Amino acid sequence: MTVTILVALLAQPAKAQTFDYNKAFEDYQYNLTLYRQSFSDYENAKNAYLQGGQTLPLKEAARQKTLAMLKTRNQLLVVYLTALRQKIVEDRGLVFDEKNTLFGKIDQEVAWYLSDKSNYRDSDSLENLFTKNEAVKDRFKKNTSLVVSEVLIYIGVGEQAGLRIDHENIYSTLKSIIDAGVASGKLSLTPFNHWLSDIDATDQLLKDKESAAKAEIQKIYSQSYSPKGNYESSLEILSSSLLPLSQLNEFLTEVLNYIKNQ
């Protein structure tokens, strides 16, 4: 008994598996496979019904496959949105408020699909399932696709902002080295003063582009006729940031090499 008590006292609590983006993405891939399988089953059953004389047993088989596919589809969307959410959680370039706003939007979608999934009944008729499908289709078009577009752009902005911040940290270190070198007379302020202003300008350009991409994607909520256009415009802005981001890297490398060779 004493031994049992001691073992119980000293036993380490079991560690829960970490749920990170990689795990979330794996879950999404798995559910995508399940959905593809159930969609294939649904199509086979549908074709069998349509080409097999439209008998009642074939209709029942098609109904069951349709029901299974619709449930799997909702689950796929839940898991997909969760993967997006986890990607944002681990993003280094987005600020707390931006993340929370996106979480609110994603969570609303997840809640909707979970609730909708629980509304499916085994007794639902095929016609009933078609009606329920229309509700999902509508939700996806009017809400989910917009939220996903916004989130994808923010993920891109976050990645670029994270890299920009990393460069800014190096820039800060290099400026300290230059200041110390100039103060001790080992380095001359020229040409650094010109180079630093170029670096500052590039850094500012990157910040402006991040803001522009974020502002552009917000328009999808007010321009219902062409949300895809706003998404494409935001992507273009993000793509145009790649060159200045590379330039920033090159500029800092040049400054670093110059200091090294002094």
Q: Please say whether the beta carbons of 213 and 238 come within 8 A.
A: yes
User: How many degrees, rounded to 5, is the angle at CA 37 between CA 35 and CA 43?
Assistant: 100
Dist. CA 133–CA 178, nearest whole Å = 64
The continuous run of DSSP H or E covering 189 comes out as none
Q: Report the nearest approach of other proteins to the CB of residue 93 (Å).
A: 10
Q: Closest Cα to residue 84, out of 109, 121, 120, 59?
A: 109
Tell me whether residue 69 or residue 220 sits nearer to other proteins (CB atom): 69
Q: Closest Cα to residue 164, out of 210, 112, 198?
A: 210
Q: Is 227 in the site for other proteins (CB under 8 A)?
A: no
Considering only the stretches 117-125, 194-202, 215-223, 247-255, report the one whose residues sit in contact with other proteins under the rule CB under 8 A.
247-255
Q: Is 20 in the site for other proteins (CB under 8 A)?
A: yes
Structural tokens at position 111: 């809640």
Q: Is 12 in the site for other proteins (CB under 8 A)?
A: yes
| Block residue for tokens 């200091």 | 259
Dist. CA 196–CA 179, nearest whole Å = 12
Structural tokens at position 253: 């490398």
Q: Report the nearest approach of other proteins to the CB of residue 170 (Å).
A: 5
Q: Please say whether the beta carbons of 119 and 186 come within 8 A.
A: no
Q: Is 179 in the site for other proteins (CB under 8 A)?
A: no
Interacting residue with other proteins among 58, 136, 178, 212 (CB under 8 A): 136
Q: Is 185 in the site for other proteins (CB under 8 A)?
A: no
- Contacting positions for other proteins (CB under 8 A): 6, 9-10, 12-13, 20, 25, 28, 32, 35, 39, 42, 46, 49-50, 62, 66, 69-70, 73, 76-77, 80, 83-84, 87-92, 96, 99-100, 103-104, 107, 129-130, 133, 136-137, 140, 145, 148, 152, 155-156, 159-160, 163, 166-167, 170, 173-174, 177, 235, 238-239, 242, 245-246, 249, 252-253, 256, 259-260
